[in-house]
Structure 1
Amino acid sequence: MKKHGRVCGSRCLGPMTFLQEVKGQRVTICQGGHLASRDASYNMHGLVFISRPVKVKEKISVYIEGASSDGALHVGFTNHRPNANLIPPTALPHLIETPGYCVVPIPAELCQPGAYITFWLNHAKYALIQGTGGKTYYMNAKRLVKLNEPLYVFLDLFGSTSAVRLLGSRKGDRTSCPDPDTRRLSREEPPSQTSVAPSCFSQQVSTQEPDQTKHMQTTTKEDLKKIPRSSMEEMDVTSLLREFQRNLSPSEFHVVVCWKRLLKSAIDALSNSNFSWTKTPHIEFVDEVAFDCGGPRREFFRLLMMEVQGSLGIFEGNPGHLFFTYDQSALQQCKYEQAGKLVAWSIIHGGPGLKALDPCLYQLMCGQEVQLMEFDWHLIPDTDVQGKVQKILSCRTSAHLHTIQKELGDWICECGFPGIYGPKISIQDIPVVYSYIVRHYIYLRVSNMISQFTAGLNAYGRLWDMVKANWIDFLPIFINMNEPISRASFRALFQINWNTEGTKKRQEEEETIYYWELVLKMIEEKKTELRFEELLTFITATDEIPALGFPQKPSINFYKPEGRGCRLPYASTCMMGLFLPRGVKSQAELNTMLLRAVRDSVGFGKA
């Protein structure tokens, strides 16, 4: 076996078996760690873990070998390393109440004997489950696991499911190390499992089906939902955008940008007769001497998305929970369409998305059914509306309801619920009334504004139609996932341009990198004012890793420190290179130098 631990090459995802050392009391693992079976005389103690952390979008496949006609299975994801001393009898309810665990109940209809099940976690923190025939379910795992930490997988064989075979995993064109029995079963796999679903441009979410087993009712309030996938199901957002960019031209469109009027500069560029969606924007900042090799463009689109959120006057609300304003004047001036076009322009050319819409609003815009009974009324921007819904939610008696009808009845009718005056209305209907008001305020009331905004997004290549058809994958583009950059993911971005091994320069460079690693550890532990996002902006002109990735790997380079004075570290945002002095003497020294360099830097090229 090679040093990377993969028996079939570096492109392999690595071996995948069930973990022998950590399993439920009634579980037996055999056949090289690929078959897990539970003593059928017991309904519990059937937890098993996969032997290694998995990657985001790595699709794990299993085969149900032992089950009655009504099988039962849970799969889950966690950031906690498997521990033999912490194995509960069942995943539900024990692990669902433990922070850091996402437990996904598999619908009984997918757990039939001889069934194939594939499951994975995507970049939008949605757990997706696919069964024989292509039926796909999903559940939001946003608050339960972190993508920037190791991701472990477990299965719970309970009830009538007594044996599961681990077939392996796949991510794009990469697979885990093959197993002979896995290959045999793959050849026997029914055609319906591998066939492509019919093309469609909507992904309607149905409510939970009534014939599912009782264990489905014990899951979280965000229940597993069924979703018909589009013909592009195998593609993640990166693949979708790359496919979308195939028609882009290598020719450039020059954009002169004034720092103080960046938004106006962008709008003027869109209205320029020479503007073309397919031409690469070449950004020229006034009073900046820098050739745009990517850095100025990344900085331009990053700042532009901030301007769209705060300066156009079409959004209101808290950061990460923006809603559309109801502004007839802005609608007449086509400001919502302008915003849509600017966002599309950024996304198409590798810039960030809006990353600020309220998640409920985004799902409604994508045609999804959203349960709004538990919507946080504090997020509503209008204080008058806040006061009204707070009064409605405080309704506890029939007398309170009569007061609501008298004082707010007409307003509730205007929000689309005339049933407030119905003879059968009761205090049990208050959550429904509240959900109608929220839907009206955040979505229906501003439907014309939303239509104009999405028309702007559709201005090139029907981008919004693609977003709607793949709305889960595009979640990180339009809402703030609040996923900070980790030390591991930050370190993995860079290549180090060393001098020849054995030289004095190389020795000094190794000293510098040692203290660089210690500074990164300080950032991770919040022992310095520096943040990974600040460093990334300093080096690349963007505060996040783009959906399409960087055009090349950012680099760490070195320079000889000056004999007198102190030359601070500097960066070239175009080449995405950080330059550090050789022979740094301490982490405190490097931390101070980096902090000064980052906080004092302006402009492009070399800071």
Structure 2
Amino acid sequence: MQPIQDLFDFVGSDDMATEVFCIQQARASPIRSTTTGSISDHITESCTVFVTWIDVMDTDINDTLVPEETTQNNASVSSDTTAGFLDLNHVKDTTAPDLKTLLTTLASKVWIGETPSSNMINVCRENIMDGAMRAFARQSFNPEAKLSVIFMDDFMQAEGSVDEGGPTREFFRLLMMALKDSTLFTGPQDSKNLSLDSHALHRGLYRTYGVMMAVALVHGGVLPSFFSDRLYQNLCSTPTSPPTLEEVADLDLQWKLKKISEAGDITEARAAIEEAAESLSLLGSLRHITTMEGRDQLVQAATSFYVEGRTKEALQQLSEGLNTLGLLDLIKIHPSIFKEVFSSSGRPLKATDLISLFQATLSPPGSNRWRLEKRVEGYWRDFLLDVEDGVFEITMEQILVFASGADQIPALGFSPHPTLNFNHDTGRKYPEANTCLVNLKLPIHDTYRQFTKYMCDGIIQAPTFGLA
């Protein structure tokens, strides 16, 4: 609530300062240094402010606000600043940002006004890719505009008409699962490499999948979390170690290459090469060898081409898609920070994660309702601890999906902050949730056994996410 003049005095103390200047958030209107009022009248959240020094002889301030023609400094108004939107170089190592800060920068590119009709996504859970492909292939689809997701298979269209975040998170969660299981990726569930699908390459599907991942991350904070270290390093254009035979997804080819590499002498190696001649020819690796070193070079060349060489065009398409909203450019500047986005951490949700995530809204202390709520809040905490211990047949991820539509806490967090309420209506025995507000309503029960029974049944039997 300080006067905004305090901010102007701080900015004006810079050695480069001119008598008149403007400050401006990314994509926001400029604020001239003669403006009055409080800081909160103009700036309502932690951000990076761009400063434009203005020659007092200028008659048109707008002419000085073109980024290519001005000198800009960053005036930090909070220790939790976001990176510069106008130039990604502002977020290089000098700012020591974290993942949330960087993603906030990208999210600032998304126009949060009314959703254009071209960004309406109509999907069914039983075939999430069908509706997703129609939406993302739409010529007028705009990744810089807000989305509106409608699940056509929602019973009674509970959240179908207005999407304030819950359906979007659910959609992207299911979409990332579908992408991971598609034919465009191969390998273990949490360490996928690209596979080669010539039909998909011709249709540009790798690019489309890249766009989907970028939009899922920036719009919903939903992480892909299934790339192998090699695939991630290839996207970042960083050096990789030579591929190993274990990375060859074609088991028949892997067996043939192993037979060659394990041959005891040249005669045995040549016989194994002849046996694999057709496959080696397709990989461009078939040649006559005269030494065991030549044998090893042949095996490595075939392995490298299979794992990386033949998918280069697919990788290029995926990279183009991932650069939607400038994501890949930022990844290449901060590869270590973004690695957690694309690689599986292997860390499941913990009870303490959800205990700290949901803030309880309680009745006045000392009241009868407050006493009931505090008892049930204790049930809730013990319930989460027992779920983590495997006492019940549900998981922490299922509980979060029920409450929010997401199976992990988004990289940008939830907005608004998740809340916990209590339902004193004796006729409402099951948990209820609003996935847009991320609000979970707990039923009031006399015993822990009753509470856990209805919690498990409600979450498992809910016809759609967020309902019971």
The TM-score, its normalising length taken from structure 1, stands at: 0.56
Measure how far apart 1:388 and its partner are: 1.9
Q: Is the 8 A contact 1:574 1:605 kept in 2?
A: no
Structure 1 residues 355, 232: closer, same or farther in 2, change over 3 A? farther
Q: Aligned to 2:429, what secondary structure does the other structure show?
A: coil
Give the equivalent residue in structure 2 for 1:322: 192
Give the equivalent residue in structure 2 for 1:382: 250
Measure how far apart 1:495 and its partner are: 0.3
Aligned-partner Cα distance in 1 for 2:79–2:129:
41
Q: After superposition, where does 1:479-490 map in structure 2 within 5 Å?
A: 479-490=343-354
Give the equivalent residue in structure 2 for 1:596: 457
Q: What is the letter of the counterpart of residue 252 of structure 2? A: D
Aligned-partner Cα distance in 2 for 1:415–1:261:
35
Q: After superposition, where does 1:265-276 map in structure 2 within 5 Å?
A: 265-276=131-142
Measure how far apart 1:551 and its partner are: 1.1
Aligned-partner Cα distance in 1 for 2:251–2:105:
44
Count residues with an aligned counterpart.
375
Q: Does 1:446 align with 2:311?
A: yes
Q: Does 1:537 align with 2:406?
A: no
Measure how far apart 1:340 and its partner are: 1.4
Q: After superposition, where does 1:362-441 map in structure 2 within 5 Å?
A: 362-372=232-242, 375=244, 377=246, 380-397=248-265, 400-408=268-276, 411-412=279-280, 415=283, 421=288, 423-426=290-293, 430=296, 434-441=299-306
Structure 1 residues 387, 405: closer, same or farther in 2, change over 3 A? closer
- The partner residue of 1:546 within 387, 407, 410 is 410
Q: What is the letter of the counterpart of residue 296 of structure 1? A: P
Q: Aligned to 2:132, what secondary structure does the other structure show?
A: helix
Q: What is the letter of the counterpart of residue 385 of structure 1? A: L
Measure how far apart 1:335 and its partner are: 1.4
Measure how far apart 1:547 and its partner are: 1.0
Measure how far apart 1:246 and its partner are: 2.1
Q: What is the letter of the counterpart of residue 289 of structure 1? A: A
Q: Is the 8 A contact 2:261 2:269 kept in 1?
A: no
Q: Is the 8 A contact 2:245 2:254 kept in 1?
A: no
Aligned-partner Cα distance in 1 for 2:393–2:261:
42
| Higher helix proportion | 2
Q: Aligned to 1:574, what secondary structure does the other structure show?
A: coil
Range with greater deviation from structure 2 (323-332 or 266-275): 266-275
Aligned-partner Cα distance in 2 for 1:357–1:447:
16
Q: Does 1:253 align with 2:116?
A: yes
Structure 1 residues 537, 605: closer, same or farther in 2, change over 3 A? closer
Q: Does 1:300 align with 2:171?
A: yes
Structure 1 residues 525, 605: closer, same or farther in 2, change over 3 A? closer
Measure how far apart 1:399 and its partner are: 5.1
Structure 1 residues 487, 442: closer, same or farther in 2, change over 3 A? same
Q: What is the letter of the counterpart of residue 477 of structure 1? A: V
Structure 1 residues 276, 474: closer, same or farther in 2, change over 3 A? same
Q: Is the 8 A contact 1:361 1:442 kept in 2?
A: no
Q: Does 1:582 align with 2:444?
A: yes
Measure how far apart 1:554 and its partner are: 1.0
Q: Is the 8 A contact 1:505 1:582 kept in 2?
A: no
Q: Is the 8 A contact 1:409 1:421 kept in 2?
A: no
Q: Aligned to 2:441, what secondary structure does the other structure show?
A: strand
Q: What is the letter of the counterpart of residue 438 of structure 1? A: T
Aligned-partner Cα distance in 2 for 1:411–1:604:
48
Q: Does 1:238 align with 2:117?
A: no
Measure how far apart 1:318 and its partner are: 3.1
Aligned-partner Cα distance in 1 for 2:79–2:284:
49
5+ unaligned residues in a row in structure 1: which ranges? 1-171, 175-198, 202-228
Q: Is the 8 A contact 2:221 2:413 kept in 1?
A: no
Aligned-partner Cα distance in 1 for 2:92–2:256:
41
- 1:87-111 CA-to-partner distances (Å, cap 9, x unmatched) read xxxxxxxxxxxxxxxxxxxxxxxxx
Q: Aligned to 1:602, what secondary structure does the other structure show?
A: coil
- What do you get for the CA RMSD once the two structures are aligned? 3.0
Give the equivalent residue in structure 1 for 2:320: 455
Aligned-partner Cα distance in 1 for 2:268–2:95:
49
Aligned-partner Cα distance in 2 for 1:528–1:372:
45
Q: Aligned to 2:421, what secondary structure does the other structure show?
A: strand
- 1:352-379 CA-to-partner distances (Å, cap 9, x unmatched) read 2322222222212322222246x471x5
Give the equivalent residue in structure 2 for 1:309: 180
Measure how far apart 1:413 and its partner are: 7.2
Q: What is the letter of the counterpart of residue 530 of structure 1? A: I
Measure how far apart 1:350 and its partner are: 2.4
Q: Is the 8 A contact 1:509 1:583 kept in 2?
A: no
Q: Is the 8 A contact 1:371 1:435 kept in 2?
A: no
Measure how far apart 1:590 and its partner are: 2.4
Aligned-partner Cα distance in 1 for 2:254–2:223:
29
Q: Aligned to 2:149, what secondary structure does the other structure show?
A: strand
Q: Aligned to 1:578, what secondary structure does the other structure show?
A: strand
Aligned-partner Cα distance in 2 for 1:485–1:605:
19
Measure how far apart 1:236 and its partner are: 2.3
- The partner residue of 2:422 within 558, 563, 588 is 558
Aligned-partner Cα distance in 1 for 2:223–2:141:
20
5+ unaligned residues in a row in structure 2: which ranges? 1-77, 81-86
Measure how far apart 1:500 and its partner are: 0.9
Aligned-partner Cα distance in 2 for 1:481–1:372:
24
| Higher strand proportion | 1
Aligned-partner Cα distance in 2 for 1:367–1:433:
25
